[in-house]
Amino acid sequence: MRAATEIVRRVLQTEKGSRIAKADQYLLEVAPDSNKVEIRQAVEELFNVKVQQVNTQLLHGKWRRLSNRWGQRSDRKRAFVTLEKGQKIEVKS
């Protein structure tokens, strides 16, 4: 089994992430090969909270051009984690 810090990379602090935080949901960047069960266990271990639901989303890297060369950003995976009522994840700014 992998370490929890390998599965959960960081808490995403975006406009959408701060908007859904009011509904006890948090937006996390996770390892692309992780599954919902691993994400649930890692979040519960790292933040000492009780997870109610995990939804995941794959984001494919966009093609970008720098001068005359083309490259692709790496693919990412993010997880929408819903916590039990009254639970919070403390996010450092």
Q: Give the global pTM.
A: 0.87
Residue-wise pLDDT for 7-20, tens only, equals 999 999 889 988 88
Cα distances from 93 to residues 11, 13, 37, 49, in angstroms, run 10, 8, 28, 20
- Position 93 pLDDT exceeds 70: no
Give one DSSP letter per residue of 25-42, joined into a string.
EEEEEE-TT--HHHHHHH
Residue where the block lists tokens 């859904």: 20
Residue 22 banded pLDDT, cuts 50, 70, 90: confident
Q: In terms of pLDDT, which residue wins out, 61 or 91?
A: 61
Question: What pLDDT, on a 0 to 100 scale, did the predictor assign at position 90?
Answer: 81
Q: Which domains does the chain have, with CATH numbers?
A: 4-62+74-83 (3.30.70.330)
Count CB neighbours of 62 within 10 A: 8
Of 45, 43, 13, the C-alpha closest to 27 is 13
- Position 38 pLDDT exceeds 70: yes
